[in-house]
A and B are shown apart, each in its own frame.
Chain A
Amino acid sequence: MTEPRAALRPARRPRGRLWIALCLALGFTGAGQMPIFKRYYLADLPGMGWTADYLLLHTLHLALATVFLVWAGAALGAWLVRREALTALGGWRAAAVAALALTGLARALKNLPDVWLAPGVVMAVDWAHLALALAFGALGLAALVRGTGYVR
């Protein structure tokens, strides 16, 4: 089955780029959840004042997360049907996506007025989401350098 794989490659490229852009945007709006954009003058650059607006960045992060989750859900659905074999790196990246989604959703859940999560759970989720974001970035970089995709 080499032929269909070859046919798939070129079609994937622009989508792959869009996915990378989406993840970078999530990383950016996520990083902006930490109080660093103002401290490090980013918000002082012309037209970048909005990067110091925590609430705006938070809403943007959620909006991007919605796209990310639709996309990841669709990829999972397609995989369930096709059952293509994952590369080793692809397996780790898929796991990171799932864990980012779960921890991210837990954070969003906590922000609802009628929901209360134990402080220890909240802290664990916060730190896990951050660690996962870093790990996902590192894995993505490794995949880019090696030129490996998610599936074989």
Chain B
Amino acid sequence: MNRRSFLKTLALAGTLAVPGAGAARAETGGRVELATLLDLSRCVGCGECVAACRDANAAKFPEPERPFPKMYPARVRAEDWSARRDEDGRLTPYNWLTIQTAVVERDGRELEVHIPRRCMHCVNPPCANLCPWGAAYKRADGAVRINDAICLGGAKCRDVCPWGIPQRQTGVGLYLDLLPALAGNGVMYKCDRCHQRLDAGQQPACSEACPMQVQASGPREEMAARARKLAAETGGHLYGLEENGGTNTFYVSPVPFEELDRAVAQGPGRPHLRPVADVMARDEAFTAAVFGAPLAGLAAGLLTAARGLARSGRGAGEGGHD
């Protein structure tokens, strides 16, 4: 794409001017993003992955302080899941993976399709891009995390996430030490792709625990190729490859996703399966203008001022200042 490569060039030029940008590397510069492929035709909905996720990440779950500080104005509601830690029918701060089941008709027979749902780990994640504190961020390997020591629980990430993934627990985190009555409301939680396991060279817990080998992880390009191949061979359908400008979670399903979307229960913590336009696209377009602006201004300023000087030099007697 032309705009993309133009922006990329601009961005690379830009990194030279950004303080601390030594850490900035383009994807081609050695950084490899990992993606997960989920073959839904294999999933039996046993929930082993959900249980494994809870076990592997139990130490990260919130332990809220009670009573919660009173929050103003009164419309600000606490979100408390600490007494419902076992809820696994939706995403919660204590449940980062949930299985959706769609019952559809295929060739006159009923077919159940199970869809393990969690954060998609978007390539250009709006949750991380738009977090005002830098609490939500993308790791070099593409995993999107929320820093529970910094997050204030304003839930902006959930509002800008096309799937409403991050979930809030009130009564924990940094906001308690700042102005708990007036700002913040806890910490947001979601799948962090088992970063501690990745760092130790292991597979994510959900992937390892699955008896049906539904999931496979690897470099994005490789997994994308595998997903496309699998879809082509089985007449399957793809979700996640293009959604929101591209994610690092690829579902391959024997049933079209429009059908699955109609058949699964949806609501808070129960994400949809609809097509999603690239949330950040409009602002990407603006980035070129924003980077060109200071240079255009500088050139204009130099020229006008120089011309002004020349004019006032020539017409010294006329007092020609403006």
Taking residues whose C-beta sits less than 8 angstroms from the other chain, chain B's interface range is 35 or more
B284 contacts chain A at the CB level, 8 A cutoff: yes
Q: Which of A45-89 contact B (CB under 8 A)?
A: 54-55, 58-59, 62-63, 65-82
Chain B residues near A114 (CB-CB < 8 A): 4, 7-8, 11, 26-27
- Pick the contact of B155: A35, A55, A72 (CB < 8 A): A35
Instruction: List B residues at the A interface (Cβ < 8 Å).
Output: 4, 7-8, 11, 14-15, 17-21, 23-27, 31, 73, 75-76, 123-124, 126, 129-135, 137-140, 147, 150, 154-156, 159-160, 183, 245-246, 279-280, 282-284, 286-287, 289-291, 293-306, 308-309, 319, 321-322
Q: Are A62 and B4 in contact (CB under 8 A)?
A: no
Q: Are B134 and A111 in contact (CB under 8 A)?
A: no
Chain B residues near A63 (CB-CB < 8 A): 286, 289
* CB-based nearest A residue for B296: A70
10 more CB-based (< 8 A) A-B contacts, given A55-B130, A66-B286: A69-B294, A77-B297, A81-B308, A105-B17, A108-B287, A112-B287, A114-B27, A117-B24, A126-B134, A127-B134
Q: Are A62 and B24 in contact (CB under 8 A)?
A: no
Q: Are A65 and B290 in contact (CB under 8 A)?
A: yes
Q: Which of A102-118 contact B (CB under 8 A)?
A: 102, 104-106, 108-118
Q: Are B4 and A113 in contact (CB under 8 A)?
A: yes
Interface class of chain A by DSSP: helix
- Please list the 4 inter-chain residue pairs (A to B) with the smallest Cβ-Cβ separation, ordered nearest first: A77-B301, A73-B297, A123-B134, A74-B301
Question: Within the assembled complex, what's the spacing in Å between the Cα atoms of A142 and B207?
Answer: 59
Q: Are A59 and B291 in contact (CB under 8 A)?
A: no
Taking residues whose C-beta sits less than 8 angstroms from the other chain, chain A's interface range is 35 or more
A134 contacts chain B at the CB level, 8 A cutoff: no
* CB-CB under 8 A for A73 and B139, given A33-B132, A116-B31: no
A41 contacts chain B at the CB level, 8 A cutoff: yes
Chain A residues near B147 (CB-CB < 8 A): 119, 123
Q: Are B20 and A124 in contact (CB under 8 A)?
A: yes
B181 to chain A, nearest CB (A): 12
Q: Are A70 and B294 in contact (CB under 8 A)?
A: yes
Question: Within the assembled complex, what's the spacing in Å between the Cα atoms of A105 and B21?
Answer: 12
* CB-based nearest B residue for A119: B137
Question: Within the assembled complex, what's the spacing in Å between the Cα atoms of A55 and B140?
Answer: 25
Which of the candidate stretches A3-11, A20-28, A144-152 sits at the interface with the other chain? A3-11
Q: Are B26 and A105 in contact (CB under 8 A)?
A: no
